[in-house]
Amino acid sequence: MVDQTTRPRPAIEAIGLTLGYSPDRPVVQDLSFRLDGPATARLDAPNGAGKSTLIEGISGYLRPTHGDLLVCGTKASDPALRTRRRVCRAKPSLHPNLSMVDHLTLAARLAGCDREEPISRAKEFGLDEWFDYRTSTLSTGTAKRLWYVMCTTGEFDVVVLDEPFNGVDEESSRVIVSEINAWRHNSLVLLVAHALPDGLRVDETMGLPRTTGTSHPTSAS
Ligand SMILES: Nc1ncnc2c1ncn2[C@@H]1O[C@H](COP(=O)(O)OP(=O)(O)OP(=O)(O)O)[C@@H](O)[C@H]1O
């Protein structure tokens, strides 16, 4: 069991961060910020400002070309963070020939939890009628709800959600809102959402500079 007294607080910190898909074309340049949890923080910036790119950095997939990006005090690329961090990208990435229940089982294995956890959450989203269907047969909204449940399975300290409300029905949005509002008591939730649904509690909003070369995030209140 993890000793909560020595465990670092949930946080995301960028220190002089430069990030991009090729070294000569940085998307985020010399960016510094710190988000401390537990809380819900919203990342709000115009299209193309680099929100998804920053998320790829926080996921550990995209490595900084300069500076540092830390999650709970550890470099985002460190595999040790896998159990503490969840990232739900905007676009589902599912195996077309596996069933919904196969995906939920796999998510539980990767998160080290009982598969009943994602299965009961999926039921809350009304997904049980699709459990035995291959994901290639699912509608866009159904695939999106499955993706959200998979990517947020198990316990975590930091979760990043990229447009989780896009393409889901109102009832599912309400379930997502109540889950985020519960997570913010123990975890850091970083949310990208162009519009906020009713009832969602946001503690902090952070922007991104529109152009590169700015050293601090803009205020986006
Ligand atoms: N996989 C990629 N390879 C190369 N360039 C990319 C890639 N993904 C994004 N970009 C570029 O990075 C820049 C920032 O894109 P990004 O998707 O991070 O912005 P965003 O703020 O998330 O935008 P949106 O709100 O439209 O989703 C854009 O110029 C985009 O073309």
Residue located via tokens 């995030």: 217
**Residue located nearest, by CA, to atom 5 of ligand 1:** 21
For ligand 1, say whether the CB of 61 is within 6 Å of any of its atoms.
no
* Residue of 17, 18, 21 to test ligand 1 pocket, by largest number of atoms within 8 Å of CB: 21
What does pLDDT average to over the chain?
92
What pLDDT digit, counting tens, does each position of 18-60 carry?
999 998 899 999 999 999 999 999 999 999 999 999 999 999 9
Residues with Cβ within 8 Å of 83's Cβ and at least 6 positions away in sequence, in order, are 111, 112, 154, 156
Task: State whether the beta carbon of 47 lies less than 6 angstroms from ligand 1.
Answer: yes
Distances from the Cα of 139 to the Cαs of 135, 147, 149, 183, in angstroms? 9, 12, 16, 28
Ligand 1 near 108 CB (within 6 A): no
The pLDDT of 127-141, averaged and rounded, is 96
pLDDT over 70, % of the chain: 92
Residue 10 CB–ligand 1 contact under 6 Å: no
Q: Cα(181)–Cα(179) distance, rounded to whole angstroms?
A: 5
Q: Say which residue, 103 or 218, is predicted with more confidence.
A: 103
The pLDDT confidence band at residue 99, using thresholds 50, 70 and 90, is very high
φ/ψ (deg, to 5) at 74: -115, 145
Amino acid present at 45: A
Identify the bridge partners of residue 14 per DSSP, sorted by sequence position. Answer: 33, 69
For residue 219, pLDDT beyond 50: no
pLDDT given at position 8? 75
Atom 24 of ligand 1 has which residue's CA nearest to it?
Answer: 47
Query: What pLDDT, on a 0 to 100 scale, did the predictor assign at position 210?
Result: 64
pLDDT score for 170: 95
Region 209-214: what's the mean pLDDT? 52
Alpha-carbon gap, residue 42 to 193, rounded angstroms: 7
Report the percentage of the chain scoring pLDDT > 90.
87
What distance in Å separates the CA atoms of residue 100 and residue 146, rounded to the nearest whole number? Answer: 7
